[in-house]
């Protein structure tokens, strides 16, 4: 166990997973405020065929090429969702479900083909389904960590603009903020966050790392800034714990442990959250009833 913790490769992977969790938590907050939680799920599933096409074209498991393939596939999926919704009577959630199913089915089909023609080089590709951080090398972890940090910096340095665009796009236009650009840039950042995490978390469970930390944060605060900070903290803890647990078991997928870790944080927030937690609400209701009863007694 000590050898694993002292391994420089594990330390790089661990830090990168924490950075990924933080970036995902912040992007998830934006996604939830835009009421597009399913969009992250659709894009993460849609990234799989891009990974497989990149591998089949290059014949190598170079993470940079796989990320580019996943990113292009995710962007195409996002454009298709918007196109279907705007040009037909199909609702946006239905369009997401259609694109998610078609792209993920295509990805599984291409994975089957890759397993047949890969000549051994395809080993580990199925790790993109549920995630396998332990299989990452130092260069992969560095790419994931650096890109995650860039995503966070973009959000932090343009926080005021993002806040106005998220809550009141019409007011943002009056202020001269290019709303269309920020909406398109949001989709791009969402795709980047998803594709850099699919090797560690997997295409199926990457959406959970985006959604659960941000939902958990809403039980602790009504401040948008604090919500972003808490989402990043919860996401970072989930990413770090999931990676740590999976590293101690041979062949254990990382994604499920990250989701379990984030789910524990969510349950604690659900019951004990200082703003909207069920226990806090019950205590407030009990206090209100007690005050009302004492007030009624005084009137009598």
Residue 253 lies in a domain: no
Confidence of residue 3 (pLDDT cuts 50, 70, 90): low
270-283 residue pLDDT tens: 988 877 778 877 77
Average pLDDT, the chain: 85
Give the number of domains in the chain.
Answer: 1
Residue 224 lies in a domain: no
222-256 residue pLDDT tens: 888 999 999 999 999 999 998 888 877 766 778 88
pLDDT score recorded for residue 213: 94
pLDDT score recorded for residue 268: 92
Decide if pLDDT at 8 tops 90. no
When pLDDT is averaged across residues 79-102 and rounded to a whole number, the result is 88
Residue 255 lies in a domain: no
Percent of the chain with pLDDT over 70: 90
Q: Hey, what are 73's tokens?
A: 């596939």
Decide if pLDDT at 177 tops 60. yes
When pLDDT is averaged across residues 119-135 and rounded to a whole number, the result is 71
Residue 60 lies in a domain: yes
Domain of 53 in residue numbering reads as 2-210
Q: CA nearest 280: which of 216, 226, 231, 220?
A: 220
Q: CA nearest 21: which of 226, 220, 246, 243?
A: 243
Q: CA nearest 217: which of 164, 262, 153?
A: 262
Give the count of alpha carbons within 13 A of 75, CB side only.
Answer: 12
Give CA torsion, residues 98, 100, 103, 108, to 10 deg. -120
Decide if pLDDT at 78 tops 60. yes
181-226 residue pLDDT tens: 998 899 899 999 998 888 888 888 888 899 999 999 999 988 889 9
142-172 residue pLDDT tens: 888 999 999 999 999 989 898 898 888 888 8
pLDDT score recorded for residue 291: 66
How far lies 126's CA from each of 14, 27, 68, 74, 130, in Å? 21, 26, 18, 18, 8
CATH number at 140 reads: 1.10.3470.10
13-62 residue pLDDT tens: 888 999 999 999 999 999 888 887 788 888 888 999 998 998 888 877 77
Confidence of residue 65 (pLDDT cuts 50, 70, 90): confident
| Range from 8-17, 117-126, 239-248, 256-265 carrying the lowest mean pLDDT | 117-126
CA distance linking residue 82 with residue 34, whole number of Å: 14
Residue 142 lies in a domain: yes
Sequence length of the chain is: 300
| Residue 127, phi then psi, degrees to nearest 5 | -65, -20
Residue 58 lies in a domain: yes
Residue 57 lies in a domain: yes
Residue 226 lies in a domain: no
């Amino acid at each position: 166990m000590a050898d694993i913790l002292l391994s420089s490769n594990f330390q790089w992977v661990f830090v990168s997973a924490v950075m990924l969790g933080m970036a995902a938590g912040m992007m998830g907050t934006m996604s939830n405020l835009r009421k597009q939680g399913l969009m992250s799920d659709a894009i993460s599933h849609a990234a799989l065929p891009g990974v497989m096409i990149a591998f089949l074209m290059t014949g190598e498991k170079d993470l940079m090429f796989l990320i580019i393939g996943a990113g292009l596939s995710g962007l195409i999926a996002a454009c298709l969702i918007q196109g279907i919704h705007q040009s037909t009577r199909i609702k946006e959630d239905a369009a997401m479900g259609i694109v998610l199913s078609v792209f993920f089915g295509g990805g599984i089909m291409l994975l089957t083909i890759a397993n047949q023609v890969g000549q051994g080089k395809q080993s580990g590709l199925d790790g993109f389904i549920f995630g396998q951080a332990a299989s990452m090398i130092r260069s992969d972890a560095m790419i994931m960590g650096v890109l995650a940090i860039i995503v966070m910096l973009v959000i932090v340095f343009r926080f005021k603009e993002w806040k106005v665009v998220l809550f009141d796009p019409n007011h943002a236009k009056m202020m001269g903020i290019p709303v269309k650009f920020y909406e398109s840039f949001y989709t791009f950042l969402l795709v980047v966050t998803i594709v850099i995490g699919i090797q560690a978390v997997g295409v199926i469970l990457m959406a959970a790392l985006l959604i659960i930390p941000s939902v958990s944060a809403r039980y602790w605060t009504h401040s948008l800034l604090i919500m972003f900070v808490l989402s990043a903290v919860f996401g970072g803890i989930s990413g770090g714990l999931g990676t740590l647990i999976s590293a101690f078991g041979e062949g254990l997928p990382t994604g499920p442990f990250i989701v379990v870790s984030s789910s524990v944080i969510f349950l604690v927030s659900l019951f004990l959250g200082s703003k909207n937690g069920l226990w806090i609400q019950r205590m407030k209701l009990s206090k209100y009833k007690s005050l009302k009863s004492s007030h009624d007694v005084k009137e009598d």
